[in-house]
Homo-oligomer: A and B are copies of this chain.
């Protein structure tokens, strides 16, 4: 039996089914158990190796590869699979969900997820799409931890006509995991995440690829001298390839729009360098400090130098 919820309240859901026990799915299972957000947790994964590990780690009350059977009696089913697989999984299980059940997901793209899921939704089942803006560069059930969502935003994008009670219940669930919940349209979500997450990942993947392909500079030199800034990019360029492939393919329009703006600005910067316009460079480099201060002030980032990576020995 779980302990009472974060505020000593009753569990938010009776039976919780999580499909896909990777970083996000396993963190959700850990947090739901720790904070008593569900009476019963069912872990569903198509990968036998993942199921075995989930059982060893004791992350759920029941572990199964049978998505339909595992989800049938659930009050909340959260799809924690790559965005490109959400439609397929929803098509398989949604018709078998019980009346009153809520379906949700954690995908980093919302427009394509809504389009892929809605056609399969039976009457009496609500779909409340979600996106917890949290993660690390590690993948798999071992990478999860119960505090991953603490003080991070979770965005819900309920399609028009979604029962308000269902959105409110999913909100309580994420708040129980420590997240701050905000609601917006799927389209706006995809634009916001394109600039705060998707394009940053794209240019990080890109520069690591560029560096790896150089002939004049060896890979060993890139590695040795990476403390000059490059290594910061390698962290997000180590994120899960399948998840990120799907994100770029399903949020194509917003990513290309934001990338276009990034490229225009970069062309202007290159021009300033070529023509020796030090004032333009200095003005931008001064302006960009304010955003970091805002991020630190809002508790979304540490103020420790170098992300706190360095020993703080004083001499």
Chain A positions within 8 Å of B, measured between CB atoms, are 30-31, 33-34, 108, 133-138, 143, 145-148, 150, 152-153, 155, 182, 188, 191-193, 195-214, 216-217, 219, 221-239, 241-242, 244-246, 248-249, 252, 255-256, 258-259, 261-263, 265-266, 269-270, 273-274, 276, 278, 281-282, 284-295, 298, 300-302, 305-315
Contact = CB atoms under 8 A, between A and B. Distances in A.
A281 B237 contact: no
A57 to B, nearest CB: 10
B292 A241 contact: no
Contact of A200 (B135, B145, B182, B229): B229
B205 A300 contact: no
Contacts of A294: 219, 223
User: How many copies of this chain?
Assistant: 2
Contacts of A288: 205, 208-209, 212, 234, 237-238
A249 to B, nearest CB: 6
Looking at A30, A193, A252, A291, the one whose CB has the most chain B CB atoms below 10 A away is A291
Contacts of A148: 310
A150 to B, nearest CB: 7
B229 A34 contact: no
B210 A245 contact: no
B225 A133 contact: yes
A147 B249 contact: no
Contacts of A30: 314-315
Nearest to A143: B305
B227 A134 contact: yes
A200 B203 CA distance: 10
A117 B67 CA distance: 71
Given A229-B236, A298-B223, A311-B147, A208 B305 contact: no
Contact of A259 (B155, B258, B270): B270
Return the 5 tightest CB-CB contacts between A and B, nearest first. Answer: A146-B315, A197-B228, A34-B315, A241-B285, A136-B305
B224 A195 contact: no
A88 to B, nearest CB: 15
A293 to B, nearest CB: 8
A131 to B, nearest CB: 9
A259 to B, nearest CB: 6
Contacts of A292: 137, 208, 231, 234-235, 237-238
A238 B193 CA distance: 22
Contact of A231 (B153, B266, B301): B301
A133 B252 contact: no
A204 B213 CA distance: 21
A191 B217 contact: yes
Given A147-B313, A197-B230, 7 more contacts: A138-B305, A145-B310, A147-B310, A193-B225, A202-B266, A208-B288, A249-B276
